[in-house]
Amino acid sequence: MKYGPGYVYRYFDRDDNVLYVGLTDDFGRRLKEHHQIASWFPNVQRCEVFFFDDYADAEMTESTLIRANTPLHNVARPNKNESIRRRNAGGACPGANACAELAASWDRAVDEAKGRTKVRLREAASQLIDARRKVMRLESEVDLLRFELALARGNVEEADDTMDHILGENWSARNR
């Protein structure tokens, strides 16, 4: 199982039919690969790309979209032969008939992923604030130790400079 971010993407033809649904951790590399080796790539007119902080969320979304869209060029999907038969017979692409349902399903999946991302961002922001508070406390403790060390050495000027740093420039200017 992969960890880290992932991208889910869909390629569409000129009639807005889904040609391919994919998943990758490096969209630029994967785009080049499709361009170089996929015989269907010249038919691509539009691409949607969605970023996920969690690769597992991206995998679930890709799987859901493949089942919902039955893209013509995804190898591992249900009813592949039926889709090809209909396409070759001039029938409608299976995904085109359920466009509204698929769009709603896609929107729900994206909204759920956004919700999970917002929660993670809030948690990360809270952790960052806590870490910054700890750093500030440690910096204050270091400054006080410098002050005490300067006093212990009898270096009044260094102690005064350290206290000015601790109390800020406004304190220094006001008390000189």
Signed CA dihedral, 30, 35, 36, 41: sign only: positive
Q: Is the pTM for the entire model greater than 0.85?
A: no
Side chain identity at 50, as an amino acid letter? F
Residue 137 has, within 13 A of its CA and on its CB side, a CA count of: 6
pLDDT tens digits along 125-176: 788 888 888 888 888 888 888 888 888 888 888 888 888 877 775 554 555 5
Give the Cα-Cα-Cα angle 92, 97, 100 (nearest 5 degrees): 150
Please tell me the predicted confidence (pLDDT) of residue 13.
93
Q: Which residues make beta-bridge pairs with 47?
A: 11
Could you tell me the two tokens for 91?
Answer: 């029938």
Confidence of residue 62 (pLDDT cuts 50, 70, 90): very high
Answer yes or no: are the C-beta atoms of 30 and 24 closer than 8 Å.
yes
Where are the chain's structural domains? 6-97, 126-174
**CATH for 6-97?**
3.40.1440.10
Residue with tokens 């190898």: 75
